[in-house]
Chains A and B, each alone.
Chain A
């Protein structure tokens, strides 16, 4: 079996994929296995082992997946259960996983509450709470992160959100609690002794507590492919264990034998202490297994060790397979182990190769989850990985030790570390501002996902065989592959109009054929906790992922109906993150002086329209029907646009009220529309009978938030539309809605069935 475990692991993996997507994967896997056996490349026992474990993996994953379908809704109104996860804190509150009396897992989220109550919430505690158990929110837009799916991948099918009035009572704790309290102690103690900057990095890098690292830094690291430094992985575990082992042995604290045992026992403890993420478990268990074999005097190849660990993971916790952290952690480690041969020569050269191979192997995952990659991240890794490996992580370990023993010395070193680290972060920020060129490719289909790996396999095969010419050829094909992916839209004759589900707000994206242009009508923002300013939530979670998933980086025209947050709140972020060529508004749209200056500086053209004027965007004209004059309120000043797309007449009406409708009825006696964007999310002060009679629309689009506090859309409006036999599509019920067309023909489709 030795040296062949990767085959068993691969068959198990293929079977898991098969249980999730299509049985064809299993057939291909087994065909490959039998072919190897027939060619006498593997022994019968490898075959049998692969089949047995493969079938077990299939069964386990299939079970999880079918469980998801058949889980009944827990109907009780008081919820009782045990906390089975660690307690994670973030800005808004705390969350944990509860196992209820029926053995169902439920994700619990608590808004901020007083410290006394928080103290009782511990892993292993039995809790009673009152609240409304719900199905988790699923994605309703292409490209959007699917929270429901994410929880399901962890075996959780329900969630409950408790605000500060909902009662919760907890008592008891698990035997693991002592580890969590050590963790808590470290957090408190380092915060106390060290500067906020240093303590937050110490907590993130040594015990996986990322609370202190702000979102901007985390996103900065993500943009530059450095997230792996922030998540505790083999690198961190390796350094911590290396320092610990060397200290124990070099200072003759214990014998080598004992030191090895200490390490082996310390590793699972450390995995829990460091937050228990899959990457932490993988790295600690891998190290523990290596130490165990070292003790037994047996040799084991690292690929075997990793493969066996992979098998143990998917058998113990099959849902882990769907977690991005697990996927990346295993694939990168495996790829690096396979490439051992080519890691020789000058150090810088090796560092570059390691960085390049890691980036290339995670690229399909990166594109699958985030739709873009940053080509320069390879170089940044070459700088930052050694910086963290040789300086930051060892120093943090030392600082942790000193915090508890010589706090004064810790403070001194802290003051030396701050300027260094600030400088490094500033370098990264500077690069982010001047050298950030993300290559937005769009969502990768499964076929392309697999094809990429085949190309990469051949590339690496020739590279490690030192057949440079062949390797170069495959490298070139790989680059062309990515290039073709990113220019694919330029060869697509289809256009789309998408009404995004942005909750209570409006956002439309129009993609012209052959990528001639991208038009965005309104960019809703989410309203912050002060009910005044917009946050980037809608932009970050919905608009940006949608555009990236479509491979869009440039917006030719950004049309803004009026200046309310639910229509323009994401505009600043959009201007920052995308290449916006032109902004189109009504003449009465208020743009502040600073915004005006910013727009001018960044070269964005501003076009203002009034009633009767039209704008031509790449051969598609948009006629302004309103406003004729300043109507006083932002809603009534909404820019109303008429256009023809895919054989249909469209009317985008912003948030106009009855007044503007009446004006248009008078001004345009022959006005007709096939598709009407119902004004103001279906408010009862818009969409009059006369308006509908004049337009005679066939389809009414309503962009409206789920259970919104305004009661939109108004019952009257809905029944009016129904009575006139107009088909209604609503974002709160159907998610995003897309009209896809070529020439004069097209079809509507809803994201949610």
Chain B
């Protein structure tokens, strides 16, 4: 077995724990694994970022003040905090098409999902879609790849109109941009949106807004990274 990130050999260490029940093969070596920072400690109750000064971070407070966005998103949770290492990994995975790298997130993604969302008895997973142009450019939708890890009903309830990459825009530009999503399936149960990263929260909220308008009672989101 070789580490899918740094390509060094991973030695399986047999101990009393895995003697009669081997662990799942690990995608990353111990060293690369420690580079991924799991979100922990005090967090903003709304967007899930690390926040030590009360319930909600300043961004979320701003969102909730705006009557247009108030309560659109119930809350967001993420697995990893933003770091250089994970940025590199995601970049290689998403933009340079190293699809197998997604395996390095599987375990963490699944575990965090169970931890954060098992309280929801009925919920539908909706991955944030890519526009057709972007999809043909990348070959796969990273949100769908993540959603595939989860053992829950997944519905492609949204489509996306092509626009400029979010990552190329400034915060202000992102916030005033028009909503690129359209609802294709109406969902009447709570929804958990899946995406790779939550940065300003505008993409998630655009999608949530459309779903809410189409009759969805509650929208949560679960992303790999809290940017």
Binding site for B on A (CB under 8 A): 2-4, 6-7, 32, 36, 40-42, 299, 301, 303, 337-341, 457, 460-461, 463-465
Q: Determine the residue in chain B with the shortest Cβ distance to A5.
A: B14
B19 touches A41 (CB 8 A): no
A464 touches B20 (CB 8 A): no
Report Cα–Cα, A711/B21, bound state, in Å.
63
The B interface, classified by DSSP as helix, strand, loop or mixed, is loop
Taken residue by residue from 170 to 211, chain B's Cβ proximity to chain A (1 for < 8 Å, 0 otherwise) reads as: 000000000000000000000000000000000000000000
B residues near A42, Cβ cutoff 8 Å: 22
Report Cα–Cα, A42/B16, bound state, in Å.
17
Q: A2-B1, A3-B1 are in contact. Are A32 and B15 (CB under 8 A)?
A: no
B22 touches A457 (CB 8 A): no
B residues near A40, Cβ cutoff 8 Å: 24
Report Cα–Cα, A3/B11, bound state, in Å.
7
Q: Determine the residue in chain B with the shortest Cβ distance to A461.
A: B16
Q: Determine the residue in chain B with the shortest Cβ distance to A459.
A: B16
B residues near A457, Cβ cutoff 8 Å: 16, 19-20
| Seed contacts A36-B21, A301-B14, A463-B16; 6 additional CB < 8 Å A-B pairs | A3-B11, A41-B23, A303-B13, A338-B19, A457-B20, A464-B17
What are 26 of the A-B contact pairs (CB < 8 Å)? A2-B1, A2-B12, A3-B1, A4-B12, A4-B22, A6-B14, A6-B19, A36-B21, A36-B22, A40-B24, A41-B23, A41-B24, A299-B9, A301-B12, A301-B13, A301-B14, A303-B13, A337-B14, A338-B15, A338-B16, A338-B19, A339-B15, A340-B15, A457-B19, A460-B16, A464-B15
CB-CB nearest 6 A-B residue pairs: A3-B12, A460-B16, A303-B14, A41-B22, A461-B16, A464-B16
Q: A2-B1, A36-B22, A41-B22 are in contact. Are A340 and B16 (CB under 8 A)?
A: no
Q: A3-B1, A299-B9 are in contact. Are A338 and B14 (CB under 8 A)?
A: yes
The A interface, classified by DSSP as helix, strand, loop or mixed, is helix
Report Cα–Cα, A457/B12, bound state, in Å.
19
A360 to chain B, nearest CB (A): 12
B residues near A2, Cβ cutoff 8 Å: 1, 11-12
Taken residue by residue from 116 to 136, chain B's Cβ proximity to chain A (1 for < 8 Å, 0 otherwise) reads as: 000000000000000000000
Report Cα–Cα, A648/B58, bound state, in Å.
96
Q: Determine the residue in chain B with the shortest Cβ distance to A458.
A: B16
Report Cα–Cα, A460/B24, bound state, in Å.
21
B126 to chain A, nearest CB (A): 28
B residues near A461, Cβ cutoff 8 Å: 16-17
Name B1-46 residues within 8 Å CB distance of A.
Answer: 1, 9, 11-17, 19-24
Report Cα–Cα, A4/B13, bound state, in Å.
10
A158 to chain B, nearest CB (A): 41
B residues near A341, Cβ cutoff 8 Å: 15
A residues near B22, Cβ cutoff 8 Å: 3-4, 7, 36, 41-42
A3 touches B14 (CB 8 A): yes
A residues near B1, Cβ cutoff 8 Å: 2-3
Q: A2-B1, A299-B11 are in contact. Are A339 and B16 (CB under 8 A)?
A: yes
A580 to chain B, nearest CB (A): 44
B residues near A301, Cβ cutoff 8 Å: 11-14
Report Cα–Cα, A4/B1, bound state, in Å.
11
Q: Determine the residue in chain A with the shortest Cβ distance to B14.
A: A303
B residues near A41, Cβ cutoff 8 Å: 21-24
A residues near B19, Cβ cutoff 8 Å: 6, 338, 457
A468 to chain B, nearest CB (A): 15
Report Cα–Cα, A339/B13, bound state, in Å.
11
Report Cα–Cα, A2/B9, bound state, in Å.
11
Most chain A CB within a 10 A radius of its CB, from B1, B11, B12, B14: B14
A residues near B24, Cβ cutoff 8 Å: 40-41
B residues near A339, Cβ cutoff 8 Å: 15-16
B20's partner among A32, A337, A340, A465 (CB-CB below 8 A) is: A32
B residues near A6, Cβ cutoff 8 Å: 14, 19
B25 to chain A, nearest CB (A): 9
Report Cα–Cα, A465/B24, bound state, in Å.
17
Report Cα–Cα, A465/B16, bound state, in Å.
9
Report Cα–Cα, A457/B21, bound state, in Å.
12
B residues near A36, Cβ cutoff 8 Å: 21-22
A308 to chain B, nearest CB (A): 13
Report Cα–Cα, A495/B12, bound state, in Å.
54
Q: Determine the residue in chain A with the shortest Cβ distance to B12.
A: A3
